[in-house]
Structure 1
């Protein structure tokens, strides 16, 4: 069963989507990308929607008022090829990808990689420094140790000794990157890099660039639960709905909207702990690993959504803020001007907090409903 990370439920008639946190399972080829298909029915006037399967999951591209000379079949082919190309560079599930070959290498010399792989790693390192190491793509071995990686073999929680041994061979400071010539280098031979918390956002940005190059000005792109919007839906602004976290991590409660957010010329990424986890002896273990402890995060923060011009950056920041937790995460968002929306568990259910930047971006006249408790 493929791992599915994030989800979006488009409703062409209503012009909104529901965004959920990352989901559980396995992904054969690497990038955890998911889009739940449209709710059915014909496309509304002026809207072209392209959907497809890729990398063990699906994608969606909605184009409003498409140019008259836009070739639907050619565009869909270009989208599929672009996603396959990114997977071949950044997947940890494909043993022949550029990233997998770097992980397999035991050399501490510079390892030549495609420019875009170096660019994504450089951005990951920037977010690592910004977050004090809360975001760290070198936690790949810890992700695998806890059973959330390519080889799902966990039958019990790791021992403290195994966690300590794995922590000893992780750390973003052991990962080096250069742009010219593009290359990566590890100072710890056993370092293992996992880009699943940033590469999906990069894929969204690339599809947005692909559309812009074809003269498309109004679109909503979604890959793996991460989105980027430009212009408007044919009937109204693009709107997405942040999902209300499931009660007791899917133990009870159905899917419901927590807050609707208008999107225009901005990207949005959501990270959460309630759909990708396992339970042992009554304890829930999230897929999000705290690089400081080597263990899944354990706090009351259920999900974080981030708005940014770059979906790649929003993707990484959402994970970083989730790792930091409700207090430190909100403090960093305020300090750095990050537009972030936090959903926390409380005694009475869920409560939302947002950074000033998020409040400012979503407080335009006619903005959709506030949070639903």
Structure 2
């Protein structure tokens, strides 16, 4: 019990000595009910930081005590920390960093989670004809979007070619719990898909507890199920493409799905009067220069949505929307036309717009 409860009980006891046994029996029962029971709250929120961003998780219509909330929050933190230990390129001792630092190797042991993310990355790479490439790390680092510092000068053509020579996903393979590479310099960066995987991991953990109404948000990667505290499906806002304000372009109801947005309009830097986007084109080895500024993908898996959103940002509007339509993916894009922003989306995305 808390100090307050202990003081309250002692006061009741002193009153009992004065007022007799019958009152003792009544007040003792009351103290037990009012002082020691722990009320349950129907809706819960869990917040924190991970993977260089913030997470915000809401659970509805599932009564939890404060101690139960604390236990769940601890487990959420543990699972997200585990993913960092597996896949972060910012941690020198993570599974991924140790694999990256190794020479050509067969059957390097990794967790099932890391192997699964690599397998899905290879699949998306094939579907997008190389637009999504997790071996892009040398180029990502060269342009200052990895653990290295921002460059003081624009990388030269020779530097870009040298980094491109190490971008070679065909030299990477995996099993359920191993990774292999047949060249020494191969370097993997899972930043374009790992947050989506994290949202899936936490969603599946909540469901293992019997929670059926939740929304898990890791940065721009969200996965939802069921209804919110107001008894309606979770409403997600797609932001307008703006660097100066946060305003809503559309509201969508995603149902039991994930929704991931990748955009170039905020994640960039300026160097010597040039602007460089964080999205690197694997073909040119340089930040993308097309007019596509934002891609939103809805899919049952946040990991898959994350990978495709990254790929379509690299592909650009025309190629991206064509492939998304062919694969019947729910994709929404914002692109710049002159001084205005316009939108385009696949038929599969239409049902999600909130009327």
| TM-score range relative to shorter protein | 0.7 to 0.9
Structure 1 unaligned segments of length 5 or more: list them. Answer: 1-44, 369-373
The equivalent position to 1:224 in structure 2, one of 198, 219, 223, is 219
Kindly report which structure 2 residues correspond to 1:145-164, keeping only aligned pairs within 5 A, or say none: 145-164=142-161
Shift of 1:156: 1.1
Alignment partners' CA distance in 2, 1:170 and 1:108: 17
Alignment partners' CA distance in 2, 1:193 and 1:65: 41
The equivalent position to 1:109 in structure 2, one of 93, 106, 110, is 106
Shift of 1:68: 5.0
**Corresponding residue pairs, total:** 313
Partner of 1:51: 47
Partner of 1:362: 352
Alignment partners' CA distance in 1, 2:78 and 2:346: 37
Q: Secondary structure at the match of 2:303?
A: helix
Shift of 1:348: 4.1
Q: In the alignment, does 2:163 pair up with 1:166?
A: yes
Alignment partners' CA distance in 2, 1:272 and 1:68: 36
CA contact (8 A) 1:67 1:215 kept: no
Shift of 1:279: 1.5
Partner of 1:309: 300
The equivalent position to 1:327 in structure 2, one of 318, 321, 330, is 318
Return 68-77 or 301-310, whichever deviates more. 68-77
Alignment partners' CA distance in 2, 1:153 and 1:286: 12
Shift of 1:153: 3.9
Q: In the alignment, does 2:287 pair up with 1:296?
A: yes
Q: In the alignment, does 2:343 pair up with 1:352?
A: yes
Shift of 1:46: 4.1
- Structure showing greater radius of gyration is 2
Partner of 1:243: 239
Alignment partners' CA distance in 2, 1:280 and 1:352: 29
Kindly report which structure 2 residues correspond to 1:199-218, keeping only aligned pairs within 5 A, or say none: 199-218=194-213
RMSD: 1.4
CA contact (8 A) 2:220 2:262 kept: no
Return 231-240 or 207-216, whichever deviates more. 231-240
Q: In the alignment, does 2:181 pair up with 1:186?
A: yes
The equivalent position to 2:254 in structure 1, one of 254, 263, 278, is 263
Shift of 1:177: 1.2
CA contact (8 A) 1:47 1:64 kept: yes
Partner of 1:195: 190
Q: In the alignment, does 2:90 pair up with 1:100?
A: no
Deviations 1:118-173 (CA, angstroms, capped at 9, x unpaired): 11100000000000000000000100000111011411110000101110111211
Alignment partners' CA distance in 2, 1:294 and 1:116: 29
Shift of 1:263: 2.1
Q: Secondary structure at the match of 1:71?
A: helix
Structure with greater helix percent: 2
Alignment partners' CA distance in 2, 1:285 and 1:258: 24
Return 124-133 or 270-279, whichever deviates more. 270-279
Alignment partners' CA distance in 2, 1:178 and 1:303: 34
Q: In the alignment, does 2:272 pair up with 1:281?
A: yes
CA contact (8 A) 2:51 2:195 kept: no
CA contact (8 A) 2:44 2:64 kept: no
Shift of 1:83: 0.3
Alignment partners' CA distance in 2, 1:273 and 1:330: 17
Return 322-331 or 168-177, whichever deviates more. 168-177
Q: In the alignment, does 2:134 pair up with 1:144?
A: no
Partner of 2:86: 89
List structure 1 segments (4+ residues) > 4 angstroms apart after TM superposition.
none
Deviations 1:89-140 (CA, angstroms, capped at 9, x unpaired): 0000000000000000012322111111111100000000000000000000
Alignment partners' CA distance in 2, 1:192 and 1:327: 30
Q: Secondary structure at the match of 1:95?
A: coil
CA contact (8 A) 1:67 1:216 kept: no
Task: Please report the TM-score for the alignment, with normalisation by the length of structure 1.
Answer: 0.81
Task: Please report the TM-score for the alignment, with normalisation by the length of structure 2.
Answer: 0.85
